Amino acid sequence: MERKETDVYLRLDPARLPQHIAIIMDGNGRWARRRHMPRVAGHRAGVAAVRSTVETAARIGIPALTLYAFSEENWKKRPKTEVDFLMRLLCRYLQAEIKTLNENNIRLKYIGRQHELPESVQREMEEASDATSKNTGMLLTLALNYSARSEIVDAFRSLAEAAARNGGLDHMQVDEQTISDHLYTRGLPDPDLVIRTSGEMRLSNFLLWQLAYAEIYVTQTLWPDFRGVQLLEGIEEYQKRDRRYGGLGPDGHAPQSTSHRTHAEAKR
């Protein structure tokens, strides 16, 4: 761990680390534009950010990390040449990172409509997932061809199909836990912390059901410049928050987040 990472880590409470962090990786295009480079250069540079973030998260013992890598909307909103480059970049990443993932005991999985991706990409995804399937450390999830609204649609379709096999819609049970059990993320705890890079203040159709009570941390850092130390800074901010899930503090009032208190108030 680099010196600056160590300095931030020593300020953290290891007993209060998030169990699941989700990251909206944004800013590749702006990073490239500021350097008068093509957009694909930003995507290429973003791979180093993924590597540093994943390794730091695994090193400090984060159980689950989910990265928003490619949305359903990207098919329509990006030029075909850029999308094709992203697919090739994904395949190269999966091929190159298997060794590192195994060395760090990281298991890889995916969420999204994988069947709509090119067959060559699906094969690389399956091979990488199989190659890391016996690892027991952090679960790294890549959201690929992902849309939160599509996920909810698919969950309800799955519920209806299960009911049809079990005697009809009269037998369909619908509650929060049942819906969660039919989402792509079933078996994963909901994220405690969602990080968005590049300063944008929106969720962009990412894990809308699962992020109901997540703490949101927005950094101005563009994704290609994001590293493990920025991840730790996000966790540090998370640990300053009062997580009440809609409840009140012990005095019957909503406590003020320590991140907005003065140093004198925080010491009282």
What are the structure tokens assigned to 63, written together?
């159980």
What are the structure tokens assigned to 108, written together?
């890889």
- Whether 26 sits among the annotated catalytic residues: the reply is yes
Token pair 């619908």 in the structure block, residue = 174
Structural contact between residues 264 and 225, judged by C-beta atoms closer than 8 angstroms? no
What are the structure tokens assigned to 152, written together?
């909810």
Please state, in angstroms and rounded to a whole number, the distance separating the CA atoms of residues 55 and 105. Answer: 10
User: Catalytic residue among 74, 102, 154, 225, which?
Assistant: 74
DSSP 8-state class, residue 209 = T
User: Catalytic residue among 26, 28, 145, 192, which?
Assistant: 26
Question: How many H-runs (helices) and E-runs (strands) does the chain carry?
Answer: 10, 6
Please state, in angstroms and rounded to a whole number, the distance separating the CA atoms of residues 72 and 23. Answer: 17
Q: Which residues of 115-142 are buried (b: 16+ CB within 10 A; e: fewer)?
A: eebeeebeebbeebbeebeebebbbbbb
- Whether 102 sits among the annotated catalytic residues: the reply is no
Q: Give me the active site residues, please.
A: 26, 74
